[in-house]
Amino acid sequence: MTDLVQVRRGAYRDSVTLMRVSRRIAGRPDVADAMAAMGTPLNRAVFERMGFAVPPDAGPADLVVALRGDGPLDDARHALAELLDERAQAHDGGFGEAPPPRTVAAAAARGDASLALLSVPGPHVFPEAMDALAAGLNVMIFSDNVPLEQEIALKDAAAARGLIVLGPDCGTAVVGGAGLGFANAVRPGPVGIVAASGTGAQQVMCLLDAAGTGVGTVLGVGGRDLSPQVSGRSTLSALAALDADPATELIVVVAKPPAPPVAALIREAARRLDTPVVFALPLPGADDLTGATAAALRRLGRPVPRWPRRARPQPPGGALRGLFAGGTLCAEAELVAGAVPGGHGHRMTDFGDDAYTRGRAHPMIDPTLRLAALADAAADPGCGVVLLDVVLGYGADPDPAASLAPALAAARAARPDLALVVSLCGAAGDPQGLDRQGAALHEAGAAVFASNAEAARYAAALAAGRSGDEGEDG
């Protein structure tokens, strides 16, 4: 073993630098022990314990370097000198940006947010939602599977703070001109929508847009808000907010039919408002979504147009198979088709149901399952009519026709007797391009309707063996 001890008089390095240098040199294969330190009494004691002989005149202002190794230590000494004289390097990253926040609380602390949009798994929603409410933010919960008692607790906490919880399982909202979740780019206007059903709200807003009437606000309240347990907590709060909003001239409430006591509660609350309220609660015998939209237009004193369609005569006959992405659109089609006499029966499937979305994206984003079902229907000789919905807007598939149009064309090619009917829910301003989507689906062989109810009625009539008039060009 060779020892090498050097003293650099008056050369100061801070202790951290010296400890780093020592560690790097000690890690060299040709070095057994190394230490570089200022010659303080404490460090001198450490040198001595390591067995190095430090010159007695080396003091606290002197840099002491000690090396021990088997062979010549020239390389190590050279490396040590380089490390000691290394200059600080500038770093490109500056002082470092703040990393992204890990909680809504931390995000809220950074700035003036007004709303938190939550889509984490349902069992994990509660802490983030409480963060938002505590920070004075409204909350939209896109996630489903939030326990019922948590939904109630969150809605009560929101009410106590003068805030609202949209959802859980709220797919759609439009506030302050921004579409949240799955929302269509409709023109701004006098109608406010309170929706316990996401695609139901989208249908109404798109039809209003087609009629030239804008929508100012859409507040989704979640599918359970009108349940007996939740008892319309968010619906009531949304109604009050829209009533107070000077830009809202008419309120449309869109929901699956609620339990009677809750329906009575909501209707009573609506009666007390200054703003007129139109209900779109699809029930047998009541207005469907298209009918409710027409009622809203009449209430505003505006004309009800003939709803846009791209007609294409379809072959009648055979059973009706409905393949839906939108739950409310599916339910509405079921009701409408059920009211059409005759036919070979119908079967409607909601591919947005939990049973189909576990471990997979919503069919408004991922078309895989519906495309497979379309191929199955075409291969089934008993199936004579296929009815599909296509929902456009923010958050949805950026080009649904890109996959669906070829699939429709293939089905038609394989089964010239198969009727193809599409309910296309979209607004002219949607990023997918309403015209382009409609044209592509029509080109592929489908009759395309803006009104879901009209599409369902036409499809059911085809299944009943009538060609109907709704397939004709208007």
Choose between 15 and 313: whose C-beta lies nearer to another protein. Answer: 15
Our finding on whether 61 is near another protein (CB under 8 A) is: no
Decide: helix, strand or coil at residue 178: strand
How many angstroms separate the CA atoms of 277 and 289, rounded?
Answer: 14
Q: Where in 290-329 is the site for another protein (CB under 8 A)?
A: none
- Least distance (Å) from another protein to the CB of residue 335? 30
Burial 208-237 (b: 16+ CB within 10 A, else e): bbbbebbbbbbbbbbbbbbbeebbbbbbbb
Our finding on whether 178 is near another protein (CB under 8 A) is: yes
Our finding on whether 425 is near another protein (CB under 8 A) is: no
Choose between 129 and 408: whose C-beta lies nearer to another protein. Answer: 129
Our finding on whether 366 is near another protein (CB under 8 A) is: no
How many angstroms separate the CA atoms of 297 and 443, rounded?
Answer: 32
Segment interacting with another protein (CB under 8 A) among 13-21, 304-312, 399-407, 443-451: 13-21
Our finding on whether 153 is near another protein (CB under 8 A) is: yes
Choose between 222 and 445: whose C-beta lies nearer to another protein. Answer: 222
Our finding on whether 17 is near another protein (CB under 8 A) is: yes
Rg of the Cα trace of the chain?
35
Our finding on whether 148 is near another protein (CB under 8 A) is: no
Q: Locate tokens 């599909």: which residue?
A: 388
Our finding on whether 227 is near another protein (CB under 8 A) is: no
Can you tell me which of 197, 202, 203, 217 binds another protein, judged by CB under 8 A? Answer: 217
Our finding on whether 381 is near another protein (CB under 8 A) is: no
Segment interacting with another protein (CB under 8 A) among 34-42, 198-206, 337-345, 454-462: 34-42
Which amino acid is located at 407 in the chain?
A
Can you tell me which of 105, 265, 269, 319 binds another protein, judged by CB under 8 A? Answer: 105
- Least distance (Å) from another protein to the CB of residue 275? 13
Can you spell out the DSSP letters for 131-161?
HHHHTT-EEEE------HHHHHHHHHHHHHT
The CA angle 306-312-318, to the nearest 5 degrees, is 110
Our finding on whether 446 is near another protein (CB under 8 A) is: no
400-414 and 434-443 helices cross at what angle (nearest 10)?
10
Our finding on whether 402 is near another protein (CB under 8 A) is: no
How many angstroms separate the CA atoms of 448 and 290, rounded?
Answer: 15
- Least distance (Å) from another protein to the CB of residue 381? 38
Segment interacting with another protein (CB under 8 A) among 105-113, 264-272, 295-303, 334-342: 105-113
Our finding on whether 27 is near another protein (CB under 8 A) is: no
DSSP-assigned letter for residue 470: T
Do 320 and 345 meet the contact criterion of CB atoms below 8 Å apart?
Answer: yes
Segment interacting with another protein (CB under 8 A) among 129-137, 266-274, 279-287, 443-451: 129-137
Our finding on whether 47 is near another protein (CB under 8 A) is: yes
Can you tell me which of 114, 145, 229, 368 binds another protein, judged by CB under 8 A? Answer: 114
Q: Which residues contact 260 (CB under 8 A, 6 or more apart)?
A: none
- Least distance (Å) from another protein to the CB of residue 352? 15
Our finding on whether 403 is near another protein (CB under 8 A) is: no
Can you tell me which of 45, 53, 264, 372 binds another protein, judged by CB under 8 A? Answer: 45
- Least distance (Å) from another protein to the CB of residue 263? 24
Decide: helix, strand or coil at residue 117: strand
C-alpha distances (whole Å) from 310 to each of 302, 313, 371, 435 are 24, 10, 22, 10
Q: Which of 242, 185, 203 is nearest to 219 (CA)?
A: 242
Do 251 and 193 meet the contact criterion of CB atoms below 8 Å apart?
Answer: yes
Our finding on whether 38 is near another protein (CB under 8 A) is: no
